[in-house]
């Protein structure tokens, strides 16, 4: 078989446009390094008249997406459209046509992964998605290949650069949430509609993928509990720092007994933990296993150039397999496993309570926690006069019990407001 591989690209936005430009402009360098003649045959776009930052020959741009699948000169399809429905149907069609697919679409992989992986296996072709998590950080291949034999115990990830930038500004510069978000939008870190990022939904899709690969049990997007960062305050950032913590939005995937749990929410993490020092729009993924100990993968998690690099790596990998002519097996297989409901997961909480400053309040607060079966680890009181702040950190208890404590707290007449709740990551019981 000749070393030429015809490539069809679905979508030419930030990542797709960067990828096409590299495939065209760096064609000779890629061929010299890999021995592969990667030729862009078609690029499907919504608007043929929109200005592009890349140049292709006449006839390459098309608004007919199915032509990318049907063209016999295209050996490999790259999906960079986003979304789960149309993109997923096109990817499925390509795989069923016997064409390997590379994607950076985390929502698609998290929501339709088993279906697409099964289709790839039936056709004996590759379905690769290194760029779906962490942008340019190599993490999918290490989890599914290098660490395939490691009984991974936990994966913690800062996997959304937008939220990490916002939290960094709030912690280091005392910026409020709205101002930090506006700055992120001005710098291009956040979309005009930032909901997917700040709500934790984007990170939840990535956490689902990481959990599935780490534990060999498929965790779907709907199985991941997620909270966002819009309720956080610089006040809590300052208190966290005083107590020796940084606040980060973290995806956590872990084994609990015989089951698996995946969740995304703000976390107070000790300042000596490697993730605590991850600043700005940087992403980082921390893996714990009995044989490898602790591993940290860190780097730019978003943007056209880093993500296109990961996509290009998958293209080269899939192209080599295509030229070898061998039946491709999935990188990792998935077996049934129990999903642990978030309510059953042990968590520790930090709470900021606004209360009346009068005798007996602490006893009432302690009673509310006791009624829920939650033990208090430490209490600080701030302020004086008619109102006070109580800062409480609990011992580990089931998430459902922590929430039950909040319900009991709301029955305390001296409580004015549960101003803040943040879960705490700590090795202490």
- 4-135+304-324 falls under which CATH superfamily? NAD(P)-binding Rossmann-like Domain (3.40.50.720)
CATH class of 342-424: alpha beta
Q: Is the pLDDT of residue 2 over 70?
A: no
Q: What is the arithmetic mean of pLDDT over 281-309?
A: 93
Q: What is the arithmetic mean of pLDDT over 128-147?
A: 94
Which residue of the set 41, 106, 206, 348 is catalytic? Answer: 206
In whole angstroms, give the CA distance from residue 152 to residue 347.
20
pLDDT at 110: 96
Please check whether the domain covering 148-298 is classified as CATH 3.40.50.300: no
CB of 204 closer than 8 Å to CB of 264? yes
Q: What is the arithmetic mean of pLDDT over 236-248?
A: 95
Please indicate whether the domains covering 4-135+304-324 and 342-424 agree at the CATH topology level: no
Domain boundaries, the chain: 4-135+304-324, 148-298, 342-424
Q: Is the pLDDT of residue 179 over 50?
A: yes
pLDDT at 384: 67
Q: What is the arithmetic mean of pLDDT over 226-240?
A: 95
Averaged pLDDT of the chain: 94
Q: Is the pLDDT of residue 429 over 70?
A: no
pLDDT at 184: 93
pTM score, two decimals? Answer: 0.94
pLDDT at 427: 58
Tell me what percent of the residues of the chain surpass a pLDDT of 70. Answer: 98
Q: What pLDDT, in 10s, does the model give residues 156-177?
A: 999 999 999 999 999 999 999 9
In whole angstroms, give the CA distance from residue 40 to residue 28.
13
Q: What pLDDT, in 10s, does the model give residues 36-81?
A: 999 999 999 999 999 998 999 999 999 999 999 999 999 999 999 9
pLDDT at 334: 87
Q: What pLDDT, in 10s, does the model give residues 310-321?
A: 999 999 999 999
Burial class (CB in 10 A: 0-12, 13-18, 19+), 185: middle
Q: Is the pLDDT of residue 428 over 70?
A: no
Q: What is the arithmetic mean of pLDDT over 288-313?
A: 93
Q: What pLDDT, in 10s, does the model give residues 321-364?
A: 999 987 888 888 888 888 999 999 999 999 999 999 888 899 99
| Nearest CA-CA partner of 145 in 335, 334, 333, 331 | 331
Q: Catalytic annotation on 248?
A: no
pLDDT at 29: 96
């Amino acid at each position: 078989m000749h070393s030429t591989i015809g490539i069809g690209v679905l979508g030419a936005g930030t990542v797709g446009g960067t990828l096409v430009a590299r495939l065209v402009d760096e064609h000779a360098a890629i061929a010299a390094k890999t021995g592969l003649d990667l030729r862009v045959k078609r690029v499907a776009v919504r608007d043929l008249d929109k200005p592009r930052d890349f140049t292709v020959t006449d006839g390459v741009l098309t608004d007919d997406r199915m032509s990318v699948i049907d063209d016999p000169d295209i050996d490999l399809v790259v999906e960079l459209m986003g979304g789960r429905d149309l993109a997923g149907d096109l990817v499925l069609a390509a795989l069923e046509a016997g064409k390997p697919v590379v994607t950076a679409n985390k929502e698609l992989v998290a929501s339709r992964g088993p279906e697409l992986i099964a289709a790839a296996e039936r056709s004996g072709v590759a379905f690769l998605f290194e760029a779906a998590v962490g942008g340019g950080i190599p993490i999918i291949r290490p989890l599914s290949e290098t660490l395939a034999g490691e009984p991974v115990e936990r994966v913690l990830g800062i996997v959304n650069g937008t939220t990490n930038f916002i939290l960094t500004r709030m912690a280091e510069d005392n910026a409020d949430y709205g101002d930090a978000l506006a700055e992120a939008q001005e710098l291009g870190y956040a979309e005009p509609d930032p909901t997917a990022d700040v709500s934790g939904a984007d990170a939840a899709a990535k956490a689902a993928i990481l959990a599935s690969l780490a534990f060999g049990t498929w965790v779907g997007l709907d199985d991941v509990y997620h909270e966002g960062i819009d309720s956080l305050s610089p006040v809590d950032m300052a208190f966290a720092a005083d107590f020796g913590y940084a606040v980060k939005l973290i995806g956590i995937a872990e084994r609990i007994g015989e089951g698996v749990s995946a969740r995304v929410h703000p976390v107070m993490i000790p300042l000596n933990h490697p993730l605590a020092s991850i600043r700005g729009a940087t992403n980082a993924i921390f893996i714990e296993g009995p044989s490898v100990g602790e591993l940290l993968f860190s780097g730019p998690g978003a943007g056209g150039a880093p993500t296109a690099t990961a996509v290009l790596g998958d293209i080269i990998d899939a192209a080599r397999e295509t030229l070898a002519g061998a039946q491709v097996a999935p990188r990792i297989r998935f077996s049934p496993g129990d999903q642990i409901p978030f309510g059953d997961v042990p968590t520790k909480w930090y709470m900021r309570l606004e209360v009346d400053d009068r005798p007996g309040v602490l006893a009432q607060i302690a009673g509310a926690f006791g009624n829920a079966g939650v033990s208090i680890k430490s209490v600080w009181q701030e302020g004086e006069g008619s109102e006070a702040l109580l800062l409480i950190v609990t011992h580990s208890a089931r998430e459902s019990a922590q929430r039950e404590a909040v319900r009991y707290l709301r029955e305390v007449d001296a409580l004015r407001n549960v101003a803040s709740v943040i879960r705490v990551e700590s090795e202490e019981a």
